[in-house]
Chains A and B, each alone.
Chain A
């Protein structure tokens, strides 16, 4: 079965703090991994993705994620968050048949 688990449902950080959001997945085949972001009032949009190659993936707005195959993890990181990063973040795994999303993590950045 294809599943995604996000461990932090609500995270509150001060500006300039470092961010790491956990994501673990379960899938038996070749996996494609994604992080999506949904800013308040906006649609879900892709932040970054991993298909193959370098397990450290860099995305937009200074975000990066590291694929660790042995841990079935794809954690999202950002060294220094800004107030504009306040949003909901979704980890997703893409298999042959479909894309499955995690529950989402709401990030609130306090100025």
Chain B
């Protein structure tokens, strides 16, 4: 248990579906991240939120839409995805300004069919 919880752990969705990934951190951190981990590719930073404000969007396609309603919760809304979007989506949190160590959730294994 890392203090960062992601749901669901596994998700299979069709290309026309709409789904959401959820992340919750119980560590009191002020920054949250979405990463994409694909086979044979580097860990890709997708979005960064500092104090609920989005501070980075690494050219992520608009079919991925993040939402950060408060500093403890982070969502990734998915719609009209492509098969190449199948990957492990990791959420992380950190406390900026003091220790920037990132704590990761278990990830959501997404399969787009």
Q: Contact between B42 and A94 (Cβ–Cβ < 8 Å)? A: no
The A-contacting residues of B in range 27-52, CB under 8 angstroms, are 31, 33, 35, 42-43, 45, 48, 50
A95 within 8 A of B: yes
Q: How far is the CA of A92 from the CA of B2 in the complex (A)?
A: 18
With A34-B101, A94-B101, A97-B50: A102-B42 Cβ-Cβ less than 8 Å: yes
Number of interface residues of A (CB under 8 A): 22
Interface centre among B43, B97, B99, B104 (most CB of A within 10 A): B43
Q: How far is the CA of A98 from the CA of B56 in the complex (A)?
A: 9
A-B contact count (CB 8 A): 60
B13 within 8 A of A: no
Residues of A within 8 A of B42 (CB): 101-104
Interface centre among A36, A101, A102 (most CB of B within 10 A): A101
B12 within 8 A of A: no
Q: How far is the CA of A100 from the CA of B103 in the complex (A)?
A: 13
Number of interface residues of B (CB under 8 A): 25
With A97-B48, A98-B56: A44-B101 Cβ-Cβ less than 8 Å: no
Q: Contact between B104 and A99 (Cβ–Cβ < 8 Å)? A: no
The B-contacting residues of A in range 37-57, CB under 8 angstroms, are 43-46, 49, 51
With A34-B101, A51-B99: A98-B33 Cβ-Cβ less than 8 Å: yes
With A45-B2, A45-B104: A99-B33 Cβ-Cβ less than 8 Å: yes
A49-B101, A97-B96, A98-B96 given; name 10 further pairs at CB < 8 Å: A90-B43, A94-B100, A94-B102, A96-B96, A98-B45, A99-B100, A99-B101, A99-B102, A101-B43, A103-B43
Chain B residues with a Cβ under 8 A of chain A: 2, 31, 33, 35, 42-43, 45, 48, 50, 55-56, 90, 92, 94, 96-97, 99-107
